[in-house]
Amino acid sequence: MASVALGLGSNIGDRVARCRQALCELAGNGAIRIVRRSSWYETRPVGHAGQSDFANGAALLETTLAPVRLLETLKDVEMRMGRSVTWEKGPREIDLDLLLYDDLVLGRPGLDIPHPAMAQRAFVLVPLTEISPNLVHPVHGRTVSDLLDDLKPVDHLVRYLAAP
């Protein structure tokens, strides 16, 4: 089984309910097991300020799916949940990001592992640090907790919203 870190987000409708629903959808897949999930955090949008704030969280998964197949599964869940195409970094019903897959470093069209911007994003690092502070970023060679410390303070960007 591979260990995976997943980022979740939504800024349309009942944001937390959508993120929780996505985890339920994934848990219904026999090849995926949810190991741990974070609290939910309200975060400011990146890139386009003229949209609603996001609910973001993270989850640790175990899976027998290969990275490309897992990504396809994530995209399928997004589609079934009504994700529409707006603009890059625009509003999203649900967003599922494959952050880490074991200690794999992979760069191919449509799939970069680790997620290329995760080390600079408080909305990723805050929930990930909550559930696995010693998780090591395979490119930077540092824990997610240390990467978050580099970004602090983040309370103007991220605030606690709801329990897991």
Q: Which of 83, 103, 112, 149 is catalytic?
A: 83
Identify the residue whose tokens are 């690092």.
125
Is 20 marked active-site?
no
Does the active-site annotation cover 150?
Answer: no
CA 73 vs CA 19, 78, 98, 142, 156: distances in Å: 15, 9, 11, 29, 33
Q: Among candidates 98, 85, 60, 81, which has minimal Cα distance to 14?
A: 81
Determine whether 83 is an active site residue.
yes
Reported as type and span, the H/E element at residue 41 is: strand 40-43
Task: From the candidates 53, 92, 146, 149, give the one annotated as an active-site residue.
Answer: 92
Q: Which of 95, 102, 142, 146 is catalytic?
A: 95
Catalytic residue among 37, 97, 102, 103: 97
Catalytic residues: 83, 92, 95, 97
